[in-house]
Structure 1
Amino acid sequence: MAPTSETLTPERILEATEEVLRRHGPAKATVVDVARALGVSHGSVYRHFRTKAALREAVTKRWLDRATATLTVIAEEDRDAESRLRDWLAALFAAKRSKAGDDPELFATYQVLTGDHGDAVAVHIDELTGQLARIIESGVDSGTFTTTDPATAARAVFHATGRFHDPGYARAWEKPGVMDDFTAVVDLVVRGLRAD
């Protein structure tokens, strides 16, 4: 039996949207396709997401947020800042590599969508750099790191490691030696943050 609009939730719509995007790509996927996949009218979808753009932004945010949960746990752990920073950067790289390697069609689709929805990306980056700032600040408080401004240092760390999380570099993530390169960059970043 086809689902009814009463059982329709934003989460179900986002799941169906992701499948439709995987199948058709961002240029051809429509709200009608999403509604058809759910067995409802497109009006039912619009009751939850007022526009196609709002639906695409929500599905983009959902995709970006998937990595954030694991990173939040690492950022909030009660252990030394240096190991948390290393683990956080490694988890971010692993999450991005997994997204690119496990489902390349959907990854390519989201590259298009994130370009179209810069606000969702900006919020995501602010959240990530905020987590980095908290880690760095805890390192400053413990005397492990030295910096006058953890927020500025966090943005610098984020940009310095961009090759390992910016989707524009995805093709390089499977090349031989990438983990050695990652480790070298993280070592350099940590040395730069350490207190004298």
Structure 2
Amino acid sequence: MAATSPTPALTAERILEATEEVLRRHGPAKATVVDVARALGVSHGSVYRHFRTKAALREAVTKRWLDRTSEQLCGIAAADRDPGARLRDWLWALFDAKRRKAGDDPELFATYMVLVDENGPAVTEHIDDLTGQLARILRDGAGTGVFTVSDPAAAARVVFQATGRFHDPGYARDWMRPEAEADFAALADLLLRGLSSP
């Protein structure tokens, strides 16, 4: 008789992975905690032991999705190299990450747009993290004389807002246009020239 492999422990991460798959299959309107539990082969009470409510589960999934982008960009922001190149690379990486999410899995992207609308605090935290990364790059640039910036945090908010067309999900349809990359490159050049020390 062959031994059966033990069932992996039920962790928050496993629940979030299953929830993402359930959302992809059923969409946010029809996905339930019972569907998630069924996908995991556990009772819905087991899921509730990790996430007290359906809303808490949906918020955790949203945060996990947003955190993936933040984590990708964090390494660029923290790198020890020319701040001008870091800023350009960071902006491109943000645009590319959002564009890939929208293009590679449009159903899941649409689902997350619904979840993002439900989870304002997760979105605010995400934006704060991203503008904090930008501020770090701008602070480093001001410290080395690459950028003329007196308030890196304020400048970071302005840069983030100015590039919104290339990372705000409301513009996702525009990201696939043939001229999108050229438009982005022109904007990045303009921003870098404006921030650069004379």
TM-score (norm 2): 0.96
**Does residue 32 in structure 1 map to residue 38 in structure 2?**
no
Post-superposition Cα deviations, 1:100-152, rounded to whole Å, max 9, x if no partner, equal 00000000000000000010000000000000000000000000101110000
Cα 1:3–1:34 change in 2 (3 A) is farther
Indicate conservation of the 8 Å contact 1:3/1:39, yes or no: no
2:192 paired residue number: 190
Determine helix, strand or coil for the equivalent of 2:178.
coil
* Whole-Å separation in 2 of the counterparts to 1:114 and 1:25: 14
Q: Which stretches of structure 1, 4 residues or longer, exceed 4 Å deviation after superposition? A: 1-4
2:89 paired residue number: 87
* Whole-Å separation in 2 of the counterparts to 1:3 and 1:82: 51
Amino acid of the structure 2 residue aligned with 1:195: S
**Does residue 159 in structure 1 map to residue 161 in structure 2?**
yes
**RMSD across aligned positions (CA):** 1.3
Identity level (%): 72
Amino acid of the structure 1 residue aligned with 2:113: Q
Match of 2:67 among 65, 68, 73: 65
Structure 1 residue 70: deviation in Å? Answer: 1.8
- Structure 1 residue ranges without an equivalent (≥5): none
Cα 1:110–1:68 change in 2 (3 A) is same
TM-score (norm 1): 0.97
Alignment of 1:83-162 (within 5 A): 83-162=85-164
Indicate conservation of the 8 Å contact 1:61/1:120, yes or no: yes
Match of 1:21 among 23, 42, 45: 23
* Whole-Å separation in 2 of the counterparts to 1:192 and 1:152: 15
1:8 paired residue number: 10
- Structure 2 residue ranges without an equivalent (≥5): none
**Does residue 49 in structure 1 map to residue 40 in structure 2?**
no
